[in-house]
Amino acid sequence: MPLYPDSILDSEFEEDLIESRIGVHDSNHFEVKLDYSIRAKGRSRYNIDYYFFVPKSLGVNKHTYSDDQFFADVQAYIRFKTPSLTLQNLAGDDSPLHTISKLADTIRAAPQNKESLGDLSNELRMFGCVVRANIRDRVRVLQSHLAGLREGESNPLLLADAAKICSCLVSEISDCLAAWRELRPEFIDGRLPAACNETFAYVDEYLSLVTEMKLTAILYKIDKIDISSDKNLVAARKQTLELLLSERQYRNDARYSNTSEGDKDDHFVYRLGLLKKFVMSVLWLDISKEKEGKKAANVGAAIAAGFAMFFALTATILAGQIYGINSWNFIAAGVITYILKDRIKDWLKLFFGARFSRFLADYSIKIKDPLSGKNIGRCRESVGFRSMEDVPTEVLECRRRDAKASIESMTKPELVLHYSKEVNLNGQDIIERMHLEDYNINDIVRFSLSEFFVRADDPISRIPYYTEESDSVEKRDFNKVYHINLIMVLTSRGSKRSVLKRVRVIFDKNSIRELQEVGDAPLT
């Protein structure tokens, strides 16, 4: 019987359910980003099942890779998704900048108003988050368009399109930053608390750095193609470069940290990271993690201890009546009773533990909004190795769909590591916080493969190879890589429907080499 009988694979439904993005974070980690759609009424409930098909040759199993080690290798973050506003809206009549200006006026009139101080800090940082997300997404579209132009190719239509997109983007970024910096005099005139001024400066510096880095990425893409035949794209490149250099000069004039010689090597890494964490923190949610089942375990242990004590007292009384207290037989009976009492307590603890564990997760996580102080949801996590018989039929079919032969699974024996996540979110509390009718939560899960690397063979295998050209046998170097196939089952408990995603992680002893999205798996 399939585990997900009502599952479908439909792009329109998927968008309403859970949007997912998977990518390599660094040489040791890959991450999965999920967007949970939240509605204003009721609770939103989701289940995410991760099935890792791990080669047995790595020697990873329940004896060598414990549950605690797995959770140590997983980093989880939950945050609000950045609100969706265009760069034009951010610089227009309905811009959040008007709200920021009004809050600044309120604080000047009442500097001790802690609520307004907190709201102003949140609005400033939120503005930075929205601008960053817009620039990132727009630059990504332009880069994709430029990537479609092959090196040395002269395609007038595509070049004209690229010029229009680039020029429009640079103009909108410039207008947005100009509107933002019109607020600068309000924050540097000394009438606002120092924390407000510093927050504005941090967001301002961060936006300037993000702008320069993203414009640099555009220049890199443009310079890889021949733009000499399109004067508009040449002009767009010049416009991009001018804004890039003006941002660099602006930070220099504003006396931001990158002006000193000592910061030149690290301001794009350390300083950018520090500013990003400060600005993005307005979106992050607090999570408190604890082992689940402590109370149930204590109750089971108490019942076991009570029953064992009842047995011991009963046996002692009976032994006293039969043998008499002052006898060797009574002493022997007491020793045996003590041994049985101890064993009974342990047996019952194992019995109750096995019964309770069916309903308990490994960890329970409370999700809290640090600004409002409200608990807005809960998450439960479980992990463990599963036999192939316990893996749902749809998941196995998805894993074996591209097998070239029916016996291929015998040539590549695998173990299945199952990580399950149950998420419950209170939509009303989230919507009140973000002032929107519906909203999304980002769930970011980062997996480390460092424990798998140490068990892998050397990344290069030297194998004798016959070469026809030289009519000789040479030793050639071949890459030694491993594949972990990850199949995710994304389920909305409200609709009782699921979507399957499959990813192949290719790595060697040193690092992750490639991540391939094998595609969505049609279910039968």
> For residues 292 and 471, what is the distance between their CA atoms, to the nearest angstrom?
66
279 phi, psi to nearest 5 deg:
-70, -45
Check pLDDT > 90 for residue 212. Answer: yes
Q: What amino acid is encoded at 344 in this protein? A: I
Check pLDDT > 90 for residue 424. Answer: no
- pLDDT (0 to 100) of residue 426: 77
What's the whole-model pTM score? 0.75
Give the chain's count of helices (H) and strands (E).
Answer: 16, 14
- pLDDT (0 to 100) of residue 523: 44
- Rank 74-78, 331-335, 359-363 by mean pLDDT and report only the highest: 74-78
Check pLDDT > 80 for residue 437. Answer: no
Closest Cα partner for 130 from 178, 169, 86? 86
119 phi, psi to nearest 5 deg:
-65, -40
Check pLDDT > 60 for residue 293. Answer: no
Residues sharing a CB contact under 8 Å with residue 299, sequence separation 6 or more, in sequence order: none
The overall average pLDDT reported for the chain is 81
Residues sharing a CB contact under 8 Å with residue 56, sequence separation 6 or more, in sequence order: 413, 414, 415
> For residues 463 and 472, what is the distance between their CA atoms, to the nearest angstrom?
13
DSSP 269: I
Closest Cα partner for 146 from 215, 230, 219, 212? 219
- pLDDT (0 to 100) of residue 205: 94
- pLDDT (0 to 100) of residue 111: 84
Residue pLDDT, tens place only, 173-187? 999 999 999 999 999
What would the mean pLDDT of 376-381 be, rounded to a whole number? 86
Query: What is 73-92 written as a DSSP string?
Result: TEEEEEEEPPP---HHHHHS
> For residues 200 and 181, what is the distance between their CA atoms, to the nearest angstrom?
10
The more confidently predicted of residues 1 and 78 is 78
Check pLDDT > 70 for residue 148. Answer: yes
The more confidently predicted of residues 432 and 346 is 346
CB 100 within 8 A of CB 183: yes
Residue pLDDT, tens place only, 152-172? 566 788 888 889 999 999 999
Check pLDDT > 70 for residue 401. Answer: yes
Whole-number Cα distances in Å, 508 to 51, 455, 461: 21, 10, 11
Q: Helix, strand, or coil here: 505?
A: strand
In this structure, of 1-5, 136-140, 147-151, 207-211, the range with the lowest mean pLDDT score is 1-5
In 49-155, which residue ranges form alpha helices assigned H by DSSP?
67-72, 87-91, 96-109, 114-147
What are the residue boundaries of the structural domains of the chain, listed by start? Answer: 11-81+362-520, 87-282, 293-357
Q: How far apart are the first and last CA of the chain?
A: 12
Torsion angle, CA of 257/258/260/265, rounded to 10 degrees? 130
The more confidently predicted of residues 64 and 429 is 64
Check pLDDT > 50 for residue 102. Answer: yes
- pLDDT (0 to 100) of residue 1: 35
In 423-508, which residue ranges form alpha helices assigned H by DSSP?
427-434, 450-453
CB 500 within 8 A of CB 7: yes
- pLDDT (0 to 100) of residue 2: 42
Check pLDDT > 80 for residue 435. Answer: no
What would the mean pLDDT of 398-420 be, rounded to a whole number? 74
Q: What distance lies between CA 249 and its chain's CA centroid?
A: 35
CB 319 within 8 A of CB 335: no
DSSP 284: B
Check pLDDT > 70 for residue 268. Answer: no
- pLDDT (0 to 100) of residue 13: 33
Residues sharing a CB contact under 8 Å with residue 238, sequence separation 6 or more, in sequence order: none
Residue pLDDT, tens place only, 232-266? 888 999 999 999 999 999 999 998 875 444 455 55
Q: What angle do CA 139, 145, 151 make, to 5 degrees?
A: 115
Torsion angle, CA of 356/361/362/366, rounded to 10 degrees? -130
> For residues 392 and 49, what is the distance between their CA atoms, to the nearest angstrom?
11
Check pLDDT > 70 for residue 288. Answer: yes
In this structure, of 7-21, 94-108, 348-362, 437-451, the range with the lowest mean pLDDT score is 7-21
Query: What is 377-418 written as a DSSP string?
Result: EEEEEEEEEE-GGGS-HHHHHHHHTT-SSTTHHHHS-EEEEE
21 bridge partner residues: 33
Q: What distance lies between CA 21 and its chain's CA centroid?
A: 9
Check pLDDT > 90 for residue 378. Answer: no
Closest Cα partner for 217 from 142, 128, 133, 163? 142
pLDDT class for 433, splitting at 50, 70, 90?
low
> For residues 173 and 243, what is the distance between their CA atoms, to the nearest angstrom?
9
Q: What is the largest CA-CA distance in the chain?
A: 112
294 bridge partner residues: none
Residues sharing a CB contact under 8 Å with residue 273, sequence separation 6 or more, in sequence order: none
What would the mean pLDDT of 477-483 be, rounded to a whole number? 87
Check pLDDT > 90 for residue 479. Answer: no
Please state, as a whole number, how many other Cβ atoms lie within 10 Å of the Cβ of residue 415.
19
Check pLDDT > 70 for residue 431. Answer: no
446 phi, psi to nearest 5 deg:
-110, 120
pLDDT > 70 fraction of the chain, expressed in percent and rounded: 81
- Rank 58-62, 312-316, 434-438 by mean pLDDT and report only the highest: 58-62
Q: What amino acid is encoded at 127 in this protein? A: F
The more confidently predicted of residues 21 and 73 is 73
CB 411 within 8 A of CB 380: no
pLDDT class for 524, splitting at 50, 70, 90?
very low
Check pLDDT > 80 for residue 321. Answer: no
> For residues 354 and 375, what is the distance between their CA atoms, to the nearest angstrom?
31
Check pLDDT > 80 for residue 419. Answer: yes
